[in-house]
Amino acid sequence: MKIDPLAEVVTLLQPRARFSKLIECGGSWRFRRKGTGDPFYCAVLEGQCRVTVDGQPPLILRAGDFLLVPAMRDLIKESLDLPQGETPEEPIEIGEGRFRVGREDEPPNLCIQIGHCSFGSPDVALLVPLLPRLVLARGEPRLATLTQLVGEETRAHRPARELVLERLLEVLLIEALRCGCETENAPPGLARGLADDRVAAALRVLHARPERPWTVAGLASEASLSRSAFFARFSRTVGMPPMEYLLAWRMALAGRLLRGQELSLDQVAERVGYSSSSSFSVAFARYAGLSPARYGRMYLNGQTGEPAQPPSTI
């Protein structure tokens, strides 16, 4: 069976919808939202605006654009003609799932569908670093359609609603990551790595056999590149060096195995490429911020706290 690393990561993340709404804006306006590191996405249906995400350089979004932020902490949206010093406004609800920002006596200059979701996986801190910090796709109408479907399903209370939402969000995230990696200035990340045939070959064998004693030279051979060319190409497209990515994926798999409580520590270590439980325990504790035994107990006891954010992020 052919391994699909992107599908593996998105499925493990377990995306869940929190809410979705349609926002109309008129006149000069600005609104700001603080996040807690959960995913945020939006599709611009009409008009244009300026967006600043987590203090990064602002982006101009226009009709047909789709923005995905896998871990949003601060978001500012504003009209392009906004005067200096304008105070952020709170969206006012004008109907079910519909909100208004700015002057009500002026026609809307922006219509945008936004959504907030969460990742249900307890290993979110181990998996999110494999995604780009921000994805921008332009001119992909199917993303707007998927966004609207998520919004409609969020407001409905039909049978199997949660299952439908989970599947829609999985498709939405995969489609956004695939479309976002096709742009000229695509950010580094797993999807961009998979768009490169040589790097993709290495990623697939790495995901298929994480227990193998991989080296940069061995992965370079799978990619049919020299060691130095492979290292540079992988780091540029994926956003982290090959062995750092391998560590991140091994730790994410280890988290799932530890939660299952079905394997011994020695067996988990072997499954993710470590010759002994002691060497695995040291690596896991350094990366996840707590020992494998404590990690397993935490989820066995139903605790909801997340492991510490790993040191390496894209």
216 C-beta neighbours (distance < 10 Å), count: 17
pLDDT of 300 above 80: no
Give the confidence band of 218 by pLDDT, cuts at 50, 70, 90: very high
CB of 248 closer than 8 Å to CB of 312? yes
> Could you tell me which of 238, 301, 286 has the C-alpha nearest to residue 126?
286
What topology does CATH give the domain 196-300? Arc Repressor Mutant, subunit A (1.10.10)
Residue with structure tokens 């989970």? 166
At residue 87, does pLDDT exceed 80? Answer: no
Residues ≥6 apart with Cβ < 8 Å to 236:
188
More confident residue, 287 or 86: 287
* Contact of 223 with 201, CB cutoff 8 Å: yes
Least confident range from 85-94, 232-241, 244-253, 298-307: namely: 298-307
CB–CB of 150/169 below 8 Å? yes
pLDDT for 311? 37
Per domain, the residue ranges of the chain are 5-180, 196-300
Name the residue with higher pLDDT: 49 or 297: 49
Residue 138: CB atoms within 10 Å: 17
Q: Identify the pLDDT of residue 308.
A: 39
Tell how far CA 73 is from the center of its chain: 13
pLDDT in tens, 62-74: 999 999 999 999 9
| Residues 155, 66: Cα–Cα separation, whole Å | 21
124-169 residue pLDDT tens: 887 888 888 899 999 888 998 999 898 888 888 889 988 898 899 9
Q: Say whether 196-300 and 5-180 share the same fold.
A: no
115, 162, 203, 271 from 2: Cα distances, Å: 32, 29, 12, 19
Choice between 297 and 225, residue whose per-residue pLDDT is larger = 225
Quote the tokens at residue 143: 């993303």
State the average pLDDT for the chain.
87
Residue 306 has a pLDDT of 44
Angstrom distances, CA of residue 267 to CA of 11, 254, 304, 310 = 23, 10, 25, 23
Please compute the mean of the pLDDT values over residues 207-235 and round it to a whole number: 96
User: What is the Rg, in whole angstroms, of the alpha carbon atoms belonging to the chain?
Assistant: 21
Alpha helices in 156-189 (DSSP H): 161-180
CATH assignment, 5-180: 2.60.120.280
Q: Is the pLDDT of residue 309 over 70?
A: no
The pLDDT of residue 211 is: 95
183 has pLDDT over 70: no
For 90-103, what is each residue's pLDDT tens digit? Answer: 888 888 888 999 88
